[in-house]
Amino acid sequence: MNDRAAKTSRRRSALLAAVVGLVPAVPIVAGILLSSQSKAARGPVVAGYSAVLTKSAPPQLTNRPPSSGGTAVALLLHGTTMRATAGGPRLATLTTHTEFGSPEAMWVVRQVPGWLGVVSPLAGNGRVGWIPRASATLVPILWELKVSLSARRLTVLYDGEVVRRYTVAIGRPAAPTPTGHFAVTDRLNTGDPTGPYGCCILALSAHSPHAIQGWGGGNRIAIHSTPDPSSIGLPVSHGCMRLTLAEGRWLLGHIPLGTPTLISG
């Protein structure tokens, strides 16, 4: 083989290796988009809030039970149509990022051949939206949030083990916090810990029946911090759940997008 032929052969071999190497990397990259971007990364600012895309840190646990494998979260790979049933009527058009700039990550609650049933604000409270299986990659997460309105308590679980319990303010009688199965859609930094939403917001897929004043998410419900700790534990909010600034920072540093959030009366 002459020098020219040898160089051509080496270039072809290198190209083939690069292409083969990319194949297993696709789901890994998708997982990185969900939970492992650099700390400095920010999504676009919407109504004064910016999406926080930092890596979600696992808690330090002792005597943790064996993992159940976690909950499946669908990370959207490209724009698609959400439907009311698998292959049924159109509900909405999805893009790869939310209105706040977060990667579109949705809790998967059902699966049928070719389709994923997901929890999304576009589907509405108590409804499941359906997206093509090929439009998303599935990422397992081990976190779960449970809110008891009667106890006014938020419980944070990791792999089935309780790691935090926080007292929260809830919606007042005229604006009750909705109950049901929801998911975290955005992790937001307000940039102003003295403002009405404190430093930190976990936006949820839940909708309130009314718009919430001063909140860029319209009628979307959130778990957020507050600079007024005297309101915590009381039914005084517009439907959101409030906790302290320190607790909000902890949630923002740990809870990934798509985390199931169960709110019970």
* Confidence grade of residue 209 (pLDDT, cut at 50, 70, 90): confident
Cα 220-225-231 angle, rounded to 5 deg:
100
Q: Tell me what pLDDT residue 213 has.
A: 66
> What percentage of the chain exceeds 90 in pLDDT?
62
Q: Are residues 84 and 186 in the same domain?
A: no
Q: Are residues 134 and 187 in the same domain?
A: no
Q: Are residues 126 and 197 in the same domain?
A: no
Q: Tell me what pLDDT residue 24 has.
A: 34
pLDDT of residue 260 exceeding 90:
yes
Q: Are residues 252 and 161 in the same domain?
A: yes
Q: Are residues 132 and 155 in the same domain?
A: no
d(CA 104, CA 75): 6
- List, for residues 75-133, the tens digit of each pLDDT value: 999 999 999 999 999 999 999 999 888 999 999 999 999 999 999 999 999 999 999 99
Scanning the chain, the segments in alpha helix (DSSP H) are 3-22, 25-35, 245-254
State how beta strands 235-237 and 220-225 pair.
unpaired
* Confidence grade of residue 51 (pLDDT, cut at 50, 70, 90): low
Active-site residue flag, 200: no
Q: Are residues 94 and 198 in the same domain?
A: no
DSSP secondary structure string for all residues of 171-207: E-TTSPPP-EEEEEEEEEE-S-TTSTT-SEEEEEEEE
Q: Tell me what pLDDT residue 28 has.
A: 32
- List, for residues 4-42, the tens digit of each pLDDT value: 444 444 444 433 333 233 333 333 333 323 333 333 233
What DSSP character marks residue 32? H
Q: Which of 141, 168, 189 is the last residue of a domain?
A: 141
Q: Tell me what pLDDT residue 67 has.
A: 61
d(CA 113, CA 57): 33
Asked whether residue 35 is domain-assigned, the answer is no
Residues comprising the chain, all counted: 265
> What percentage of the chain exceeds 70 in pLDDT?
71
Q: Tell me what pLDDT residue 196 has.
A: 86
Residue range 42-62: mean pLDDT, rounded: 55
Asked whether residue 233 is domain-assigned, the answer is yes
Least confident of 61-65, 76-80, 188-192, 241-245: 61-65
Q: Tell me what pLDDT residue 64 has.
A: 56
Residue range 217-221: mean pLDDT, rounded: 79
CATH number at residue 149: 2.40.440.10
CATH number at residue 111: 2.30.30.40
Q: Tell me what pLDDT residue 238 has.
A: 87
Active-site residue flag, 181: no
Question: Considering 207, 224, 238, 254, which one is annotated as catalytic?
Answer: 224
Q: Are residues 137 and 153 in the same domain?
A: no
- List, for residues 173-195, the tens digit of each pLDDT value: 988 999 999 999 999 998 889 98
Q: Which of 80, 112, 141 is the last residue of a domain?
A: 141
Q: Tell me what pLDDT residue 62 has.
A: 53
Question: Considering 199, 200, 238, 240, which one is annotated as catalytic?
Answer: 240
Q: Are residues 99 and 204 in the same domain?
A: no
Whole-number average pLDDT of the chain? 80
Nearest to 209 by CA among 221, 223, 219: 219
Asked whether residue 49 is domain-assigned, the answer is no
Count of domains in the chain? 2
Q: Tell me what pLDDT residue 219 has.
A: 80
Q: Are residues 148 and 127 in the same domain?
A: no
Q: Are residues 184 and 251 in the same domain?
A: yes
Q: Which of 111, 141, 171 is the last residue of a domain?
A: 141
Report the 10 Å Cβ neighbour count for 179: 15
Asked whether residue 37 is domain-assigned, the answer is no
237 Cβ contact partners less than 8 Å away, ≥ 6 residues apart: 169, 170, 171, 172, 175, 177, 231
| Domain extent at residue 249 | 143-264
What is the reported pTM?
A: 0.79
pLDDT of residue 223 exceeding 60:
yes
Q: Are residues 198 and 242 in the same domain?
A: yes
Asked whether residue 260 is domain-assigned, the answer is yes
Separation of first and last alpha carbons in the chain: 77
